[in-house]
Amino acid sequence: MSRSATATIHLNALRDNLARARKLAGSAKVMAVVKADAYGHGLERCARAFGDADAFGVASIADGLRLRAAGHRNRIVVLSGPDAASDLAEMRRLQLEAVIHHPSQLAMLEAERAGTPLKVWLKLDTGMHRLGFPVRQAPALHARLRAMPAVDPAIVLMTHFVSSEAFDDTTTEQQIARFEQATRDLPGERSLSNSAGLLGWPAARGDWVRVGGLLYGLSVADGRTGADFGFAPAMTLATHLVAVNRIARGEHIGYGATWECPEDMDVGVAAIGYGDGYPRSARSGTPVLVGDAPAAVIGRVSMDLVTVDLRRAPDASVGDVVTLWGPRLTVEVIAQHANTISYELTCGVTRRVLFAEDGV
């Protein structure tokens, strides 16, 4: 193969992470959020690893179709619900559940007069101001939905936190209070917490927790890694050196000549770039591993190649493995150097990277 970049997905880490999330959730059910192709890890393989999750959370009906085609019978919740009236029949056919967050979706459901009642999750806006109904409307909306013949009366009530990763911020406390006040007299299960909510807000466990990043070992808090919370990284992104060049002191490396060699030194060239999903914004000094030795990106990341300072890897040679992130070099560290978040990096791995699995 002409490209050597590989993303290895650690199946045992995925399973262990789900088990840890379930332990933290206590009596609450666990929804494994597998949107964005399971945060870049591969929808079908991750769904196999999360096979005993109480439900899957997806962003689209198409993801639900993929899961059903792969044989999964778990509950599947489409987190943004139907986009058009025609979606309702497909959701019923696939036995998908819908998050209802907008008046246009209510109108779609009210127009339905036949068919198996759809299971719905009523989303209330407690402060995120993205999707959801105003909390003051909760009683009327709940009654309206339960009166619809097209809707299963066992409605789940839900909201979404703004900054639950800030464990000392009062915003989440305020959101919890708004939600509890709005739903106090309504029947049905509750779902408030995402990954960060699961970690930092025991009062918000409710009946369901919706766990995304933590299942992949990804951080949900600034300055912390998933491993800091006991969750194992589930992806290793690696490639190989395709060249080792001796470059003289004072010479510049890469596009724009942004990095100058401080001495005569070996510079490695690794077969990965932003065309593979490695961030172009990764600045000089971003760590990598060459074999077991520490090294660092120098110069600009290009489409297909990255240049690496080999002064701390003096025995490096062509063909050596270069690890961009993984259990020994967490993706959160790379994200910090690239001024982004770990979620964006794993979601951004492109189709030309070869995916592999380890574990059973």
Q: Would you kindly state where each structural domain of the chain is located, as residue ranges?
A: 11-217, 235-358
pLDDT value of position 297: 98
pLDDT value of position 113: 81
pLDDT value of position 2: 59
Q: Cα–Cα–Cα angle for 184, 185, 191, nearest 5°? A: 50
305 pLDDT more than 90: yes
Burial class of residue 84, CB neighbours in 10 A (0-12, 13-18, 19+): exposed
CATH topology of domain 11-217: TIM Barrel (3.20.20)
Task: Please determine whether the domains at 11-217 and 235-358 fall in the same fold group of CATH.
Answer: no
Picking from 213, 210, 211, 212, the residue whose alpha carbon sits closest to that of residue 226 is 213
Tens digits of residue pLDDT in 175-204: 999 999 999 999 999 999 999 999 999 999
pLDDT value of position 356: 97
* 84-109 mean pLDDT: 97
Q: Please identify every residue annotated as catalytic.
A: 35, 255
What are the residues facing 243 on neighbouring strands? Answer: 269
165 pLDDT more than 60: yes
**Residue 27, SS3?**
coil
CA 95 to chain centre: 24
- pLDDT class of 31 with cuts at 50, 70, 90: very high
pTM: 0.96
Tens digits of residue pLDDT in 238-278: 999 999 999 999 999 999 999 999 999 999 999 999 999 99
Asked: is 235-358 a CATH 2.40.37.10 domain? The reply is: yes
Within 13 Å of residue 89, how many CA atoms lie on the same side as its CB?
5
